[in-house]
Amino acid sequence: MEKLSVGWSMSTRWTDPPMLLIGIIPYAAAAGAVTGGFGFRLFQAFKSAGGDAPSLERIGWLLAGAAAPTILTWTWWNVLYHGLGVEPKCPPRPPETNHSTIPPLPSPST
């Protein structure tokens, strides 16, 4: 418990590493539990599927539930947090230059 209070007091923003570590462990456990629960039910539905419409609809909903934590995490991270790859806080990269110390070979004379 002391480590949690130290991490909490060290952080000034929620993006600081102690806060991310404190938050990511419960989130990863919950996402794993949701995916595992839906995955197990999906496995059971596949074993007893008869090919009729209600069983296929149930399989679709279970598949969507199993994929939901991954899709929500990807959407939050790439769309809401990073803005689809555009980070306005980062300066543009300078063009790459050739820092080779070896002089170029002379061109062959014809």
Confidence grade of residue 68 (pLDDT, cut at 50, 70, 90): very high
Angle (deg, nearest 10), helices 2-10 and 17-47: 120
Does residue 33 surpass a pLDDT of 90? Answer: yes
Domain span at residue 37 reads: 2-81
Assigned domain for 94 exists: no
d(CA 107, CA 77): 51
Assigned domain for 6 exists: yes
Assigned domain for 65 exists: yes
Assigned domain for 97 exists: no
Assigned domain for 77 exists: yes
pLDDT at 21: 79
Does residue 76 surpass a pLDDT of 80? Answer: yes
Does residue 71 surpass a pLDDT of 70? Answer: yes
Assigned domain for 99 exists: no
Q: Any idea what DSSP says for residue 26?
A: H
d(CA 91, CA 102): 31
Cβ neighbours of residue 49 closer than 8 Å, sequence gap 6 or more: 55, 56, 59
Number of domains in the chain: 1
Assigned domain for 104 exists: no
pLDDT at 15: 72
d(CA 90, CA 110): 49
Assigned domain for 30 exists: yes
pLDDT at 31: 92
Q: SS3 for 81-95, per residue?
A: HCCCCCCCCCCCCCC
